[in-house]
Amino acid sequence: MPELPEVQIVVNQLVTRLGRAQIRAIEIRDPKIKLAGDLVGRRIRRIRRRGKNIVVDLSGGRHLLVHLRMTGWFEFGQPKRYRVAIYTTRGTAYFEDARRLGMMQVVTTAQLEHALEQLGPDPLLDGCELSGLRTTSRPVKVALLDQRLVAGVGNIYASESLWRARINPRRRSDRLRSEELRGLGRGIVASLRRAIAHGPRIFEAQQFAVYGREGRPCRRCGTVIRRMVQSQRSTYYCPHCQR
């Protein structure tokens, strides 16, 4: 599932390819997607990210709100299958989504604000403010996946960030000390920025510290990485570094 870094990479590509362009046509190939309102002729004012959401601000007070969900992505050369094509004066973006779970809708400014205000702080936009973690007794790894507490962090970068901060993923969130929260904040920002730096090659170039490395040595201490299941999601950690 695309998390904050992958979404930011897509946003960067969209800005480069479609920024300030005018929409010439919209082709919808999947009846599950219904885009209310006339988008043709509207100019793209800004393309941005909030958490895992992509926001395309359009002229006339409309916004295209996109969530990639499990398999959504934008391509700029025509793929074999795509759900939506956005034709502009600068180029075309194809919304590809094998499992058809991604969301795309046109909203007003008020509707956009309502949707985004449900999200917690975005680590790269708001500073990594983690006081919300103290409001729950859930294990910290589970709490990090709650988008109302921290926007954009998913399963992969939760494991990576906890490893950087040397925090056991089983720790109760409300029992983390202030210095541990600050360390976790630094770990989250470092993990996200490192991933974004890979750019479009992220899926082939990225090497994780713990995620997906069960049975392999920790890159810091050499202890064998373990895997456990928390809330039906895989968690990877080093039993020595994250006691």
Domains and CATH numbers, the chain: 4-116 (3.20.190.10), 131-237 (1.10.8.50)
2 is catalytic: yes
Q: Catalytic residue at 169? A: no
- Whether residue 37 is predicted with pLDDT greater than 90 in this model: the reply is no
99 residue type, one letter? R
The 3-state DSSP class for residue 87 equals: strand
- As a residue count, the chain comes to 243
Average pLDDT over residues 159-183: 98
Coil vs helix vs strand at 57? strand
Could you identify the residue written with the tokens 């599950």?
32
Residues 6+ apart with CB under 8 A from 147: 51, 52, 118, 119, 120
| Measured distance CA(221)–CA(153) in Å, rounded | 25
Give the model's pLDDT for residue 38: 87
Residue type, 177: R
Q: Is 52 a catalytic residue?
A: yes
Q: What are the two backbone dihedrals, phi and then psi, of residue 204, each rounded to the nearest 5 degrees?
A: -95, -20
Residue among 50, 52, 164, 213 flagged as catalytic: 52
222 Cβ neighbours under 8 A, 6+ residues apart? none
Question: Per residue in 50-83, pLDDT tens?
Answer: 999 999 999 999 999 999 999 999 999 999 999 9
Q: Name the CA radius of gyration of the chain, rounded.
A: 19
Closest CA to 104 of 165, 26, 15, 189: 26
Phi then psi for residue 175, to 5 deg, are -110, 5
Looking at residue 194, its pLDDT comes to 97
- Provide the pLDDT confidence category of residue 197 given band limits of 50, 70 and 90: very high
- Reported as a pLDDT band with limits 50, 70 and 90, residue 36 is confident
Confidence (pTM): 0.96
Question: What is the number of alpha carbons within 13 Å of residue 127 lying toward its C-beta?
Answer: 4
**Residue whose structure tokens are 């082709």:** 27
